[in-house]
Structure 1
Amino acid sequence: MSSYIDYDLPVTTVFTAFSKAIINCTEDLDVVFAKSFGQTMMPSWATDWSLTIDRATFPHDWELYLYDQFDGAYDDLRKVIESSSFYRADGGRKPRVSFIPNDNAGTLLLKCSGICIGAVDGLGFPLQADPRLSTRTGLVQPISTRNPYGDDQAVARALIHTLVGNPTWGDTVGAALFRIPWAAHQEDPAAYFTSDGQLDFAKDDIERIAQLRARGWDTALGNNFLIFEWWRRSLSQFRIAGKRFQDYFDRDIVDCTYPSARVKLDMATVLGAYTSRCLTTLDTGHFGLAPYTAERGDRVFVLQGCSLPVVLRPVGDSGQFKVVGECFVDGYWNGEAFDGVERGDFAFEDVVLC
């Protein structure tokens, strides 16, 4: 039996057919967020493979990211690193999909089933962003004051999970991230940066950094310090469960009691997870790590067949959605949304991706 190969097919048709084949063969929808944030090709659920994919994987890969160099950072480090690969937001459920010709646009719609767990509310400032794709120049402070996590300790725990994209990080052995003392002497955010957006270190800041070094925080002041400091200063005023982001970091300078490998690993992991993403809050109060191209009002779904929640953007009044990208949401990484359906908290929806 011979098959006909048409080399004149538009590349969009080929890419769409390939994504469709992946979904059908793997019975998995994760390919919908394997894309470049700059993709203009439609449909948005298909991947334009001519572009570089803006995705550093959330399920941390021991070999790919050379985590063995941090041996001793945490007890049973490999188990901590790979724990996220054992969980799926859909609880391991297979997708229910159909493909529908979109005659108006000449593309293919993907109809699937999902649960809306909230809408994007607050957005932190991204570490790296293409100004052609996002014109946001500052924080989008959350409107919602809801807190689904509990007391300050539970909030900090959920925030650690979110920032590293790992649902168990620091649970059994305390993470070092928020114990790295705030390095800026002043608490005035206007003094954190120069007029051109560079880090501003006043004399008092230099003295405070010297105190950090004297108290054993040399590792935190290593190669990643400047980018780490820029990152946390840029988020300093972002409101998280009623507190400023900087208030989650220790202010007092005390002796470092953490293994240097743990300090180094926490800093490297949070910066790696934040690449092409930004800290996000939902109108439910949940924390997320979403594509920096996300906007307030985007909806976050757990799709049946997707390992992670997905940020979707409504397209007018069409009832259809464009795919923005994956989103780690603490509290929705192991089938919790489907448990919510059984309790009556959520309902399944037909979701049409265009």
Structure 2
Amino acid sequence: MAVAESSHIHADDVWRRYGRGKSGFTAVRGVSFTVRPGSLFALLGTNGAGKTSTVEMLEGLAAPHRGRIRLFGDLDPVADRARIRPRTGAMLQEGGFTAHLTARESVEMWAGLTSRPRPVAQALELAGLSHRADVLVKNLSGGEKRRLDLAVATLGSPEVLFLDEPTAGMDAEGRHATWRLVKELRERGSTILLTTHYLEEAESLADELAIMHRGRIAASGTVSEIVSGHPATLTFGLSGQWSAQDLPVGGAIEERGGRITVTTGQLQKDAARILAWAEDHDVELDRFTARPASLEEAFISIARVTEADEDADDAHDTDDAAETQEEA
């Protein structure tokens, strides 16, 4: 696959394996995607899906056992690290700050290692830490330490920014403040790759996303593209003389506790049919709601289907892993 000239991040059939032989583990299995300049791409997945292993290869912290990664067109994250590093920022899952430095001193230390850093006070303000600048790192809360990680990651106004679980451990206020900062960075032109467990975070921020499961990309596209293939629901209550069998729609209909749930792939048409039927028969639909599929529902459905499919492929994957190890 040729590298797209307009891409800032490009992965082509990337594999990563830990260990050797039967005791080894293949964490990333043939991952491919492209991130356009100025966009935010989110990697979703359960624990162990391979998100962090993928990001570490993109950052140049590890080389893939198979496949190809390129940043800024045709730069290799490992071989061209000296050229790439001044143009990128990274927020890892865990920072490495000295417990007995203050937040301000920590940022000052990193500023001395950063090409063209923004002013330390500005970095602290953007991360919402100005009021905690003189507090020792060991006395910061978990969420505040994540904000400090973010302040350091964005010191150099990076062209490409890697954010690995950036809001883990933050309260709701901190999470939304971080979202505002990420949106501001994207508006300024940064290309951002984000891993997250929070589906709301991906829905709010991502231009495109990929759902990883057991080392593979199970689905990718915009939120609407991923969700569109999954059913919507209509829910309402019916009066005693009517039942689910009287409704003018087919498909999956469930009746429980006096509430009807219709699962449908054509939300607008079925909603119109039910409302017209209710009008014609003078039926009152109690608390009628129409809800399109959510990213959470799509995520759960994709994970289930993918896991069932991959269970049948484990033997083949073991062979592929052995070949990958031999090539490495």
Normalising by structure 2, what TM-score?
0.24
Bigger helix fraction: 2
- Of structures 1 and 2, the one scoring higher in RCO (CA 8 A, sep 6+) is 1
Which structure has the greater CA radius of gyration? Answer: 2
Bigger strand fraction: 2
Normalising by structure 1, what TM-score?
0.23
